Amino acid sequence: MLRSPNNLSAVAKTFSEKYERGETSFYHAYGSTLPRVDIELADLELGPPLEVAPLMVFDGAGFKG
């Protein structure tokens, strides 16, 4: 959960850039195949700086690698 609009924008930028570069895998759900973008700590470290606001990361938040 991102508690800051600036952090949300920074992470969205990281997702968008990876998607545009084609750094996707496939996610199969509901009878379809959808593109999936995986974000790692290194991606966040290389992206726009995040504000010092609580960033809650839920282990296994429904996603499987």
Backbone angles phi, psi at 13, to 5 degrees: -65, -45
Burial (CB count <10 Å: 0-12, 13-18, 19+), residue 7: buried
Segments of 1-65 assigned E as strands:
25-29, 32-36
Task: Give the residue, 65 or 50, on which the prediction is more confident.
Answer: 50
- pTM assigned to the model: 0.63
Q: Is the pLDDT of residue 1 over 60?
A: no
* pLDDT (tens digit per residue) in 26-49: 989 889 998 999 989 898 888 888
